[in-house]
Amino acid sequence: MAQPPHRPGQRDLTTGPIASALLAFALPTLGSNVLQSMNGSINAIWVGRFLGEGAIAATSNTNIIMFLMFGAVFGFGMAATILVGQSWGRRDVDSARRAFGSAIGLVIGTAIVVAALGWAFAPDILRALATPGDALPLAQTYLRVIFLGLPASMVLVLVFMGLRGTGDSLTPLWFMGLSVVLDAGLNPLLIAGLGPFPRMGIAGSATATLIANVVAVAAVAAYIHLRDLPLRLKGSELRYLLPERALVRTILAKGLPIGAQMIVISVAGLTMVGLVNRHGIETVAAYGITLQLWAYIQMPALAIGAAVSAMAAQNIGAARWDRVARITRAGLFYNVVMTGALVAAVLLFERPVFALFVGGHSPALPIARHISLIATWSFILFGATMVLFGVVRANGAVLGPLVILFVAMFPVRLGVALALKPLLGVDALWWSFPAGSAANLLLASLFYRYGGWRKGALYVPASPEPEQEAGTVLEPVGTLRPVR
- Please state, as a whole number, how many other Cβ atoms lie within 10 Å of the Cβ of residue 220: 23
pLDDT tens-digit map of 371-413: 888 998 999 999 999 999 999 988 888 889 999 999 999 999 9
**Which of 3, 2, 62 has its CA nearest to residue 291?**
62
Measure the CA–CA gap between 329 and 37, rounded to whole angstroms. Answer: 27
User: Residue 234: inside a domain, yes or no?
Assistant: yes
Q: Over the chain, what is the mean pLDDT?
A: 81
Residue 61: the pLDDT is 66
* Averaged pLDDT, 286-294: 82
User: Residue 9: inside a domain, yes or no?
Assistant: no
Residue 467 has pLDDT above 50, yes or no: no
pLDDT tens-digit map of 413-457: 989 998 998 898 888 999 999 999 999 999 999 999 998 888 766
Residue 241 has pLDDT above 90, yes or no: no
Go through the chain and tell me how many residues it has: 484
User: Residue 482: inside a domain, yes or no?
Assistant: no
**Which of 291, 293, 257 has its CA nearest to residue 71?**
257
Q: How confident is the model at residue 294 (pLDDT cuts 50, 70, 90)?
A: confident
pLDDT tens-digit map of 206-217: 889 899 999 999
Measure the CA–CA gap between 368 and 261, rounded to whole angstroms. Answer: 28
Measure the CA–CA gap between 178 and 251, rounded to whole angstroms. Answer: 30
Measure the CA–CA gap between 159 and 165, rounded to whole angstroms. Answer: 10
Buried b (16+ CB within 10 A) or exposed e, 128-165: ebebbebbbebbbbbbbbbbbbbbbbbbbbbbbbbbbb
* Averaged pLDDT, 325-343: 93
Q: How confident is the model at residue 202 (pLDDT cuts 50, 70, 90)?
A: confident
- Own/partner pairs for 170-173, CB < 8 Å, 24+ apart? 170/8, 170/9, 170/28, 171/9, 171/220, 171/223, 171/224, 171/229, 172/28, 172/29, 172/32, 173/28, 173/29, 173/31, 173/32, 173/35
User: Residue 466: inside a domain, yes or no?
Assistant: no
Measure the CA–CA gap between 444 and 321, rounded to whole angstroms. Answer: 20
**Amino acid occupying residue 276:** V
Residue 396: the pLDDT is 83
Residue 484: the pLDDT is 30
Residue 7: the pLDDT is 52
* Averaged pLDDT, 230-246: 84
* Averaged pLDDT, 92-108: 86
**Which of 291, 217, 218, 259 has its CA nearest to residue 77?**
259
Q: How many CA atoms lie within 13 A of 55 on its CB side?
A: 21
Measure the CA–CA gap between 296 and 292, rounded to whole angstroms. Answer: 7
- Classified as helix, coil or strand, 206 is helix
Residue 243 has pLDDT above 80, yes or no: no
Residue 69: the pLDDT is 67
User: Residue 6: inside a domain, yes or no?
Assistant: no
Q: What angle do CA 217, 10, 109 make, to 5 degrees?
A: 30
User: Residue 463: inside a domain, yes or no?
Assistant: no
User: Residue 335: inside a domain, yes or no?
Assistant: yes
Residue 465: the pLDDT is 53
- Sign, CA dihedral 454-455-460-466, equals positive
Q: How many CA atoms lie within 13 A of 415 on its CB side?
A: 10
Q: How confident is the model at residue 52 (pLDDT cuts 50, 70, 90)?
A: low
Question: Which of these ranges, 42-46, 402-406, 463-467, 476-480, has the smallest mean pLDDT?
Answer: 476-480
Domain residues for the domain of 213 are 18-457
- Please state, as a whole number, how many other Cβ atoms lie within 10 Å of the Cβ of residue 245: 10
User: Residue 197: inside a domain, yes or no?
Assistant: yes
Residue 446: the pLDDT is 96
Q: How confident is the model at residue 329 (pLDDT cuts 50, 70, 90)?
A: very high
When divided into structural domains, the chain yields a total of 1
* Averaged pLDDT, 49-57: 67
Measure the CA–CA gap between 64 and 357, rounded to whole angstroms. Answer: 18
pTM for this predicted structure: 0.75
Measure the CA–CA gap between 13 and 25, rounded to whole angstroms. Answer: 9
Measure the CA–CA gap between 320 and 186, rounded to whole angstroms. Answer: 47
